[in-house]
Amino acid sequence: MASVFAAATVQVHAADKRYPLASVKKIEVIEPSSGSAWEDKDFLDCTDVVLTEEDVRYALQHIRRVPRKSYFSEYTERTGCSGGASVTFKNGKFIVIGVEPTGRINIFEADANLEPTKAPESFYECAPCKDRKMDLLKDALDRADERRLRKAEA
């Protein structure tokens, strides 16, 4: 019974076979940290969230494709922060990947100039990525709490 559960768990977080980590030639973090209109500096300042090459590798190992509707659902957790990277594969394929600390990930395939190809953008979730990144962000969240307290005291 335990082996059946373990096999099911592995499949739930199985990586997208179109982007195998073993085929990665190069990862370049293009935008380590950025904020959007969703950013709430009282909750989390996006400058406290930095995407690393290790984050991209981890995401490629654990992403799970989700429908566009699910990715943009009003119930989806967002921080307003993200980072972006380009990934070059040994077969010459390029992708641009956007990663949020909540585990929301979008990928589009690109040409050598990092311009989008005609392939549709893909949307992913990565629960293990969220757990990992949020553990790393505890200090950043604590700093945000301190900012809120100072603001309230003022």
Three-state SS string over the chain comes to CHHHHHHHHHHHCCCCCCCCHHHEEEEEEEEEEEECCCCCCCCCCHHHCCCCHHHHHHHHHHCEECCHHHHCCCCCCCCCEEEEEEEEECCCCEEEEEECCCCEEEEEEECCCCCECCCCCEEEECHHHHHHHHHHCHHHHHHHHHHHHHHHHC
pLDDT at 116: 85
Backbone φ, ψ for residue 24 (5° rounding): -70, 130
Both tokens of residue 149? 């307290």
Rounded distance between C-alpha atoms, residue 39 and residue 28, angstroms: 24
pTM of the model: 0.77
pLDDT at 52: 92
Amino acid symbol at 137: L
Rounded distance between C-alpha atoms, residue 9 and residue 145, angstroms: 35
Rounded distance between C-alpha atoms, residue 41 and residue 119, angstroms: 35
pLDDT tens digits in sequence order for the chain, 154 residues long: 444 444 444 444 557 788 999 999 999 999 998 877 666 666 777 887 889 999 999 999 999 999 999 888 887 777 778 899 999 999 989 999 999 888 899 999 988 887 888 888 999 999 998 888 777 777 777 777 888 888 888 8
